[in-house]
Chains A and B, each alone.
Chain A
């Protein structure tokens, strides 16, 4: 049970790192704010529910009768509070949530496919989301139920992954090799749909390009929290299957012989990863390489055991994307974060390739 101690200390360490990254990032921008001030702003924003009177709680709206108590009240300029909480925090929260989700999904996909090139988009999730989002921008009237861009992207992601899964499944079995090829084919097809929609986009081409490049600046805090919550819940589900995923790394026949219910496990892993990725892509567009390089880097540090690799990858992914997005917005001209992650990610991947780390996987 050695891994438990290691996992706990690694998780605590990475949580502390994430906290530091968030505080530093919230201070960086056109108005520089010191880390102490940022910490005070965050402390002031803390509120704990007190005096919850269950007798007064009604079924209709129990939260209305909850009183909130803010334990801290440091003296901070209200301008700083506004910048940190209203302007920077939503974007940082989106970065952390999306990075967490993509790195977790990438870890699972690389394990499931036993393939170092696997990333969260491998079964068509990202291309499905792209078609959904671009359609929502270019031909909004064509979408039912007044779906927004985020809703359309999320639905597109899920539809694409369900279709890929359906194509690759025969007689209750889903060979990963078939899944991989079906994913590539569906991605290519959806890519052509996106290209066609771009041709027809006319005036909205800028908005389309902006969405496709990946971005975190458009998120409201509520949206970031929804993606973050989905990520936390589903990573907890995936964590329950960490041992099964370890056994799957030795091959499906081998995993079955030590008692892994192979097809069911694959279904759970694929469904959870697709949902996580869909929830991330819906608020950020397609951000490449996070789900590819973060799991690789962590595997070098903590090893292949998913009981420690999965939580550490997810948390490292959160920090990584917040840092990348801070770089993206700190420069003279603001860049889409997708450009930064790809610009950092591709050289790193080549480095891994040269180190033969990739061919050993």
Chain B
């Protein structure tokens, strides 16, 4: 459904992504992992149509994302940004309702009969319904992140891009959020820092390093002690979570890099 081919992206004159190729199948949950500056957010930005490729291509269902109008792209891909500036006093419901924007006609009319139902469902699934009428400015970082997820769900796009969806969440909401995301029928591409969570929830992980794809595969295939030590520059122990049976990665503490 999403195909990235030989993608190079420059930011501020620096090549941040260099020849990335990746194919995401329908319904798959793919995690982008890698050290800071590896290009995870840039890759999400390019797939979401926000960053134009210097070369290479990004296509959704065969159409280059750059060729689609903002409206039709928003009907195919919904984005949960890492953070958003909620300066103005919109209510949570107002923000989540913005997910219906790509389905609304500029000239009004109630041309969006499913909208209200999707909105209520998204509020319930993300457990944001209880503060739906509060101002977003009053919410904590984690609550805001769930509101943005609710908006993306309301957008009802077949693909979802998430940039660090669990970064500001407590462990309870980390698990609940990823349970929800992993249970979706939608195709999901998420940048995730926490390797244990990535290993537990994702079908495949893409390990990025210095703007290139270093390894792709199931978490068990990709997360080897040698590989992670090379990419992250720290010795790690790869083990298994006795409760979930999934791969765990624990840093040992000694950096393999000088200085």
Query: Residues of A with Cβ closer than 8 Å to B?
Result: 1, 114, 240-241, 243-244, 246-247, 249-251, 253-254, 256-262, 299, 303-305, 360-361
On whether the beta carbons of A260 and B101 are closer than 8 Å, the reply is: yes
Question: Quick check: is B9 within 8 A (CB to CB) of the other chain?
Answer: no
Taking A246-B98, A247-B98 as contacts, is the C-beta distance between A259 and B89 under 8 angstroms? Answer: no
| B contact residues around A305 at 8 Å (CB) | 90, 94
On whether the beta carbons of A259 and B79 are closer than 8 Å, the reply is: no
CA distance A247 to B94 in the complex (A): 10
Taking A240-B106, A304-B90 as contacts, is the C-beta distance between A251 and B85 under 8 angstroms? Answer: yes
Taking A240-B107, A243-B101, A254-B81 as contacts, is the C-beta distance between A259 and B70 under 8 angstroms? Answer: yes
Within 8 A of A (CB), among B206-222: none
Taking A240-B106, A240-B107, A246-B98 as contacts, is the C-beta distance between A259 and B71 under 8 angstroms? Answer: yes
CA distance A243 to B137 in the complex (A): 19
On whether the beta carbons of A256 and B49 are closer than 8 Å, the reply is: yes
Pick 27 A–B contacts, CB within 8 A, sort by A.
A240-B107, A241-B106, A243-B98, A243-B104, A244-B101, A246-B90, A250-B98, A254-B79, A254-B81, A256-B49, A256-B70, A256-B74, A257-B78, A257-B79, A257-B81, A258-B102, A258-B155, A259-B70, A259-B71, A259-B73, A259-B74, A260-B101, A261-B70, A261-B71, A304-B88, A305-B90, A360-B89
CA distance A260 to B98 in the complex (A): 10
Partner of B70, one of A240, A251, A260: A260
CA distance A261 to B74 in the complex (A): 10
| A contact residues around B107 at 8 Å (CB) | 240
Question: Quick check: is B84 within 8 A (CB to CB) of the other chain?
Answer: yes
Nearest CB on A from B80, distance (A): 9
Question: Quick check: is B50 within 8 A (CB to CB) of the other chain?
Answer: yes
| B contact residues around A251 at 8 Å (CB) | 84-85
Within 8 A of A (CB), among B116-175: 137, 151, 155
CA distance A128 to B143 in the complex (A): 46
Q: Which residue of B lies closest to A359 (CB)?
A: B87
Within 8 A of A (CB), among B67-105: 69-71, 73-75, 77-79, 81, 84-90, 94-95, 98-99, 101-102, 104
CA distance A262 to B48 in the complex (A): 14
The size bracket of the interface on B is: 20 to 34
On whether the beta carbons of B50 and A256 are closer than 8 Å, the reply is: yes
On whether the beta carbons of A250 and B85 are closer than 8 Å, the reply is: yes
Question: Quick check: is B114 within 8 A (CB to CB) of the other chain?
Answer: no
Question: Quick check: is B61 within 8 A (CB to CB) of the other chain?
Answer: no
Q: Which residue of A lies closest to B148 (CB)?
A: A254
| A contact residues around B71 at 8 Å (CB) | 259, 261
CA distance A262 to B110 in the complex (A): 24
Knowing that A250-B95, A253-B81, A258-B99 are A-B contacts, what are 16 other residue pairs whose CB atoms are under 8 Å apart, sorted by A's residue number?
A114-B85, A240-B107, A241-B106, A243-B104, A249-B88, A250-B84, A250-B98, A253-B45, A253-B50, A254-B79, A256-B50, A257-B74, A258-B74, A259-B102, A260-B101, A299-B88
On whether the beta carbons of A361 and B151 are closer than 8 Å, the reply is: no
CA distance A303 to B94 in the complex (A): 11
On whether the beta carbons of B89 and A303 are closer than 8 Å, the reply is: yes
Partner of A259, one of B75, B84, B94: B75
| A contact residues around B69 at 8 Å (CB) | 261
Interface string of B40-61 (1 = CB under 8 A from A): 0000010011100000000000
| A contact residues around B77 at 8 Å (CB) | 257
On whether the beta carbons of B48 and A257 are closer than 8 Å, the reply is: yes
CA distance A249 to B85 in the complex (A): 8
Nearest CB on B from A235, distance (A): 15
Nearest CB on A from B77, distance (A): 8
On whether the beta carbons of A114 and B87 are closer than 8 Å, the reply is: yes
On whether the beta carbons of A1 and B110 are closer than 8 Å, the reply is: yes
Q: Which residue of A lies closest to B71 (CB)?
A: A259
Nearest CB on B from A292, distance (A): 17
| B contact residues around A303 at 8 Å (CB) | 89-90
| B contact residues around A244 at 8 Å (CB) | 101
